[in-house]
Structure 1
Amino acid sequence: MTSPTRSAGYRRLAVGPLALRFRPRAVILSLALAFALIAAGLFALASGSLSMTLPEVLAALARSGARADVAQVVGEIRLPRVLLAILAGAALGLSGAAMQALTRNGLADPGLVGVKEGASVAVLALILAFPAVDAAWRLPVGMAGGLAVALVVTALARDLSGVRFVLVGIGVSWLLAAGLLVFITTADINDVETALVWLAGSLHAADWSLIPALAFWSGLGALVLIATARGADASALGDGVAGGLGVRLKTMKVLGLAAPVLMTAAAVSCVGSLGFVGLMAPHMARFLVGGGQAAVLTASALLGAVLVLAADTAGRLLFAPLQIPAGVVMTLAGVPLFLLLLWQRRDRL
């Protein structure tokens, strides 16, 4: 007789007292996404004003027998840019999946609750007030700004679930965006140029100093979200059911908000505002992989990384020698999807 879990597509792997339940389809598709990400990364490393072959790129990565110019371009310019795109995209994809699960709203993403604008305002204030400060300071300052806005939105909404939280976040984000526009229209032209380039979500200034901190916060947030994935699955059935199953709802909601807020603020602090990644990646993950929250989180991270890396590579290559910021490319691709999602949910909004 077929068990319920097997009929639902799950398999059970037991090693002694330990057992793991998984869906082979989700595992295969996640591995395919990982290979696609690796291929996209190698293509990005090989492409540009100095074209390289795959063996030359691999030699530069291995620091073995590569030409001096190839080793310099790969090691000092392209590799940090690729890694930063992957980390930022994964963080935003994870954050979007977590926010949509927390609010039970498929249109939610950290950018819609003001986190991106809060981090942007804080980082721009740092850049313009202290232009000589090291770039490593952007991350803690931006995280503080994003966290402050998230706390204000939470206090005003008084509830992390439902439409109210998203609507309050949209209102606060619009207020902060208006403040940024006032600055852009009144500030010195040199400061405005700096602000616009950064706000567009560009990775052209990628630096090795930003990668360890972003990797730490992204990894920490991913661990927290994976650890609370079962609670999120239970919470999707309703708070009453989740509480009856032993889920600590208050703790799960606090962690479910803190992790995506800090990851989003960290990503925005490093690469600027990249819109629609947190909105698009989770929906693509549910369409391709499906399953529980753990599978959606994994696929969202991989898809977010692929999307940002592809957007940055396209913006860098399609109009060379001009470089279109990755945020602009993502917006061009994301707006039609956002409108489609609104249309699909027109009777529920």
Structure 2
Amino acid sequence: MSGHKTKTGYADAGYRRAGYRRVGGRSTFLLYRPLVLACMIVAFVVLAAGAFAAMVIGSLSVSMESLFSWLSGSLRDDVASFVIGNLRLPRILLAVICGAALGAAGAAMQSATRNGLADPGLIGVKEGTVVAVVAALIFLPQLSPSWRPVLGLAGGATVAAVVIAIARSLSGLHFVLIGIGVSWLLSSCIALFMTMARISDVQTAMIWLGGSLHAASWLDLQLMLPSTLLGFALLLTTTRSADAAMLGDMAATGLGVRSRLLNAARLSGSVLLTCACASVVGALGFVGLVAPHLARLSFGSAQMPLLFGSAAFGSLLVLLADTVGRTIFAPVQIPAGVLLAVLGLPFFLFLMWQRRDAL
């Protein structure tokens, strides 16, 4: 018994030297880093505070008292109830979920390709989704919105498969550059569709292309929820293998990791998350590029905290962009995708400058 306690004590001391703490029994326990856990708590508190702030500010100001009354079901103001329950709450939830999905997808994509420039939007997945949905909006306007996630997934998955087939490898800068080239080609296809469509259809497509959440509804949340949950499940169940894969192919193989199967699962999860968001709210660019880099600064490179951190930062970015876009220039609403592009493009150019010797 004393020998077992000594071994456990030595193990605990080793965990502490590495910055970990242990919770649980002798045989089954969980390791965590107090600093990372504190950062997670702070990030989610800030996100919750931002969501509450977004609920009360706008063209119609809602007091916190009215908000809590609505949450408790005792608010008698029909106008405030409609604004909170039918306009702002689904919009905020959609911003948070889409931001989390795009942030997590970007983190998984960068880990799978071992390239800090990788992003589902930069390799054409988002544009493939957009092309499929825009084509449906313009040429099949009578098609039910419930088909958009299916069409978007088909378009995004097809483009991802084409980029991987051309690049023949997920590593290296050429993978990202081929994806950017395919994205430009698909952007040309979108422009071609616009010139062939009626003015009314073009207006509808243009608003959606801007990455606007102004038309968010509970139906949108229902449409994207299945693909989002499946995508997160794929990424969360592969985090331990992904940590081993970061040690290198030989080390990962020695630890029993099947690299091809792992990459397929993580890329599939990223495609599902990206297509689910893009098919509902349009193009929200650079979230999957910026959020993982911010998360690494706060949460480190371990895959589980990185995934949650990227999701948190992605949610904050989209929520902030949407809230600023609908309030600062009211009554004119600036699409969140426009503000995210203003933030993300300089960040992307900075990353490209850092890797200029590898071009």
Same fold (TM over 0.5): yes
Tell me the alpha carbon deviations over residues 261-296 of structure 1, each in whole angstroms, 9 at most, x when there is no partner.
111011000100000100000000001121401111
Aligned to 1:8: 18
CA contact (8 A) 1:61 1:75 kept: no
**CA distance, structure 2, for counterparts of residue 107 and residue 5 of structure 1:** 33
Amino acid at match of 2:189: G
Q: What's the counterpart of residue 160 of structure 2?
A: 150
Q: Paired residues, what number?
A: 349
User: Which of 323, 327, 347 does residue 337 from structure 1 map onto?
Assistant: 347
Aligned match of 2:113: 103
Structure 1 residue 240: deviation in Å? Answer: 0.9
Deviations along 1:73-118, whole A, 9 cap, x unmatched? Answer: 1111111111111111010000000000011000110011111110
Amino acid of the structure 2 residue aligned with 1:258: S
- The question of whether the paired residues in 1 share the 8 Å contact of 2:235 and 2:266 is answered with yes
1:265 to 270, 275, 278: 275
Shift of 1:196: 1.5
Displacement of 1:62: 2.9
**Residues 103 and 163 of structure 1 are in contact (CA less than 8 Å); yes or no, is this contact kept in structure 2?**
no
Instruction: Quote the Cα distance in structure 1 between the aligned partners of 2:41 and 2:224.
Output: 23
Change (3 A) 1:345 1:5: farther
Change (3 A) 1:39 1:80: same
Question: Match of 1:160?
Answer: 170
| Equivalence for 1:135 | 145
Task: Tell me the TM-score normalised to structure 1 length.
Answer: 0.96
Q: CA separation in 1, counterparts of 2:150 and 2:273?
A: 11
**What SS does the aligned partner of 2:357 have?**
coil
Residue number in structure 1 paired with 2:202: 192
Q: Any residues of structure 2 matched to 1:37-56 within 5 Å, and which?
A: 37-56=47-66
> What is the CA distance between 1:66 and its match in structure 2?
4.0
In the superposition, the TM-score normalised over structure 2's length comes to: 0.93
Residue in 2 aligned with 1:286? 296
Which residue of structure 1 aligns with residue 227 of structure 2?
217
SS of equivalent to 1:313: helix
Secondary structure, in 3 states, of the residue corresponding to 1:307? helix
Instruction: For residue 151 of structure 1, report the CA deviation from its aligned partner.
Output: 1.4
Matched, 1:36 2:59: no
Which position in structure 1 is the counterpart of 2:80?
Answer: 70
Selected match of 1:19 from 8, 26, 29: 29
- Once residues 21 and 326 of structure 1 are traced to their aligned partners in structure 2, the CA distance between those partners, rounded to angstroms, is 38
* AA matched with 1:178: S
> Aligned partners of 1:4 and 1:341: how far apart in 2?
36
Matched, 1:120 2:130: yes
Check whether the contact 1:61–1:74 (CA below 8 A) recurs between aligned residues: no
Secondary structure class of the residue paired with 2:31: strand
- How many Å separate the matches in 1 of 2:169 and 2:279? 27
Amino acid across the alignment from 2:114: R
Q: Secondary structure at the match of 1:110?
A: coil
Name the % identity: 49
Structure 2 residue runs without a partner (length 5+): 1-9
Q: Is the 8 A contact 1:34 1:302 kept in 2?
A: yes
User: Once the two structures are superposed, what CA deviation does each residue of 1:123-159 show, in whole Å capped at 9, x if it has no partner?
Assistant: 0111112223332221111111111111111222222
Please name the residue that 1:58 is paired with: 68
Is 1:88 matched with 2:98?
yes
Measure the CA separation in 1 of the matches of 2:14 and 2:281. 45
- Are the aligned partners of 1:87 and 1:215 in contact in 2 as well (CA < 8 Å)? no
Q: CA deviation at 1:4?
A: 4.2
The residue number in structure 2 matching 1:238 is: 248
Output the amino acid matched with 2:241: G
After TM superposition, the structure 1 stretch with the greater mean CA deviation from structure 2, 1-10 or 222-231, is 1-10
- 1:255 matches 2:268: no
